Amino acid sequence: MIITEVPYQLNKSTFVTKIADLVRDKIIVGIHDIRDESNKELVRVVIELKKDAFPKKILNQLYKLTSLQTSFSFNMIALHE
């Protein structure tokens, strides 16, 4: 699984550390290794899954337990004369 974009204002290193903590505490099962291959120009976080892992299930857990998916609310006001 390769993550190439993260939400606005998400600190990538904190995100990777959070995933590592969840794997170490066995809250997320099925991740074999996680590597941050990012550079100054692009984001690339590689998550290696175990052979018996279900990618869709792990992705849903990442959405639920980390800040990989973020919602913003806003008001759109228009003035018309």
pLDDT digits (tens, 9 = 90+) for 24-69: 999 999 999 999 999 988 999 999 999 999 999 999 999 999 999 8
Q: Average of pLDDT values for 16-24? A: 94
Burial of 30 (0-12, 13-18, 19+ CB in 10 A): middle
Query: What pTM, to 2 d.p., does this model score?
Result: 0.79
**Per-residue confidence band for 81, with pLDDT thresholds at 50, 70 and 90:** confident
Check whether domain 2-53 has CATH 3.30.1360.40, yes or no: yes
Supply the pLDDT for residue 71.
85
pLDDT for position 70: 86
3-state secondary structure of 3: strand
